[in-house]
Amino acid sequence: MKDYLSLVKFAHTIFAMPFALLGLVLGLVDAEIGSRWWILLLQVLACMVFARNAAMAFNRYVDWRQDLQNPRTVMREIPQGIVSPKRALAFTVVNGFLFILTTYFINALCFFLSPVALLVILGYSYTKRFTFLCHLILGLGLGLAPVGAYLAVTAQFSQIPLLLGGAVVFWVAGFDMIYSLQDESFDRAHGLRSIPVLLGGSKALQLSAVLHALCAVLIASALWSSNIRYPSLQFLHWLAGVAFIALLFYQHTLVKPHDLSRVNLAFFTTNGIASLLFASMIILDLLLV
């Protein structure tokens, strides 16, 4: 189990999981479902875990030959023989099936949309082979979290979860560009595509900042819409937005084109804290309404 949790980098659920829980709470505020809320909570958590397990295991399966040649990734589980490619693929299939099965017990809309969600999150693994927009596809996969969780409760789309989902798309795409700076030389040498390969390190960082500015606009729009829809909200949701946006741009002070020593601090620590702070503060504000 430890090997599989390491394979899928289970700790990285810290990025999308808080937004999924935020989408769930928004749905609970909008819909009266009584005591069934805890069942939906477990179902949404299960969907998040199964979907992410499938996506990460499939990514490791698809990329294992490249990982074997890349000094940064050669110590991963498949190149090291800790988990075989066949077992990684089997793990993907099992988790994908459990994801779809779980949505069946949530509602019909989630069930019918579940293959589309899987197509996005699994398809991302191939995008680096043919498009420089791979970062946005990754962002789209994680951006489904708040929207899907809201759909699990209400079975209908709504503006605020969609704005949050859009914000996650640009947030994730931006920090993935920063993270991919580490592989710029390797990707270029092996014909793989990314924004750093296309534009170079300096311009990739600039474009990442632009995407994070778009994320900030969508976050502000979501908070403004929340303030209108839930007029009893206090100051916490605005404080959450300020903290998230500040951390969003703080990470750009940590990484320079020729100094990647603090990429992990920018990628994991800063974004993890931003996600947890933002979602938890807004959830608390919603529960105090």
Express each pLDDT in 65-109 by its tens digit.
999 999 999 998 899 999 999 999 999 999 999 999 999 999 999
Express each pLDDT in 12-35 by its tens digit.
678 899 999 999 999 999 998 877
Number of Cβ atoms within 10 Å of the Cβ of 231? 8
Domains in the chain, start-ordered, CATH in brackets? 2-287 (1.10.357.140)
Question: What confidence score (pLDDT) does residue 268 get?
Answer: 82
Question: What average pLDDT does the chain have?
Answer: 93
Interval 238-248 mean pLDDT: 96
Q: Is 56 exposed, middle or buried (0-12, 13-18, 19+ CB in 10 A)?
A: buried
Question: What confidence score (pLDDT) does residue 152 get?
Answer: 97
User: What pTM, to 2 d.p., does this model score?
Assistant: 0.95
Confidence of residue 7 (pLDDT cuts 50, 70, 90): low
Say how far residue 248 (Cα) sits from the centre of its chain: 15
Residues 6+ apart with CB under 8 A from 6: 77, 82
Which pair of tokens denotes residue 140? 């789209």
Dist CA 94 CA 54 (whole Å): 8
User: In which residue are the tokens 């795409």 written?
Assistant: 173
Interval 118-133 mean pLDDT: 96
CA angle centred on 214, ends 211 and 215, rounded to 5°: 90
Express each pLDDT in 33-77 by its tens digit.
877 899 999 999 999 999 999 999 999 999 999 999 999 999 988
Residue type, 62: V
